[in-house]
Amino acid sequence: MAQSHEDWALGYLDEVWWSRLAQPKMHAWSFKEPLRLQKKQQQKGEKQALACYGVLFDEGASKQMRLRFVARRPISAVTIAFLEWVLAGLAAEGKRVWVLVWDNASWHVSKKVRRWISAHNRRVKREGGVRIVECRLPVQSPWLNPIEPTWLHGKRAIVEPSRKLTVEELMERVCAHYGCALEEPIPQDVL
């Protein structure tokens, strides 16, 4: 239904952790010696992984990803900040409705987020803007969200077999893989 309206956007939202130490499960063929991923050690006080919000927009034949890293971890306030950021981009594109498909993570179904979405939609009805139509996926059904496989492919694409990536390198590689601009991470104390 969303694809039949030019001013609607169908977007699948999810969060993922990008590890700097863990290696994704990979299969590789080598002619001479087998490829070995080296085990990486964490230094004291160093970030092991980075949290990232992403939304995959399905526009029929084309798909577009928008990413935003998080300073610490996904929580309700950060979810709201990410939604506002995505909505600003959709408004600039002339969209009126965002059909938001996402799972039942605690920071998606919290009272704070539900109240914010309701208040946002009331404000849009009065003043104009992009309305959010939520579509929640059933509990424990990640295969229904098309963004899930893209995370796995991304983790395999950015892996560095011989060394640990810096935080900056990791963010740059992820954004380059998905063709996104690298934005400033969302701070934890946004609201």
Task: Kindly list the distances between the CA atom of residue 169 and the CA atoms of 123, 172, 179, in Å, as whole numbers in the listed order.
Answer: 40, 5, 15
Name residues whose C-beta falls within 8 Å of residue 78's C-beta, 6 or more positions apart in sequence: 53, 70, 107, 186, 188, 190
8 A C-beta contact, residue 12 and residue 147? yes
Task: Kindly list the distances between the CA atom of residue 57 and the CA atoms of 65, 143, 145, 156, 191, in Å, as whole numbers in the listed order.
Answer: 6, 17, 12, 21, 26
| Domain edges within the chain | 2-20+47-178
Cα torsion through 78, 149, 173, 47, rounded to 10: 50
What pLDDT, on a 0 to 100 scale, did the predictor assign at position 157? 86
pLDDT tens for the chain, residues 1 to 191: 666 677 889 999 999 988 776 555 555 555 566 555 555 555 565 567 889 999 999 876 678 899 999 988 888 999 999 999 999 999 999 999 999 999 888 888 899 999 999 999 999 999 999 999 999 988 888 788 888 989 988 988 888 777 788 889 999 999 999 999 999 999 877 65
Answer yes or no: pTM beyond 0.75: yes
Chain center to CA of 156: 16
Superfamily of domain 2-20+47-178: Ribonuclease H-like superfamily/Ribonuclease H (3.30.420.10)
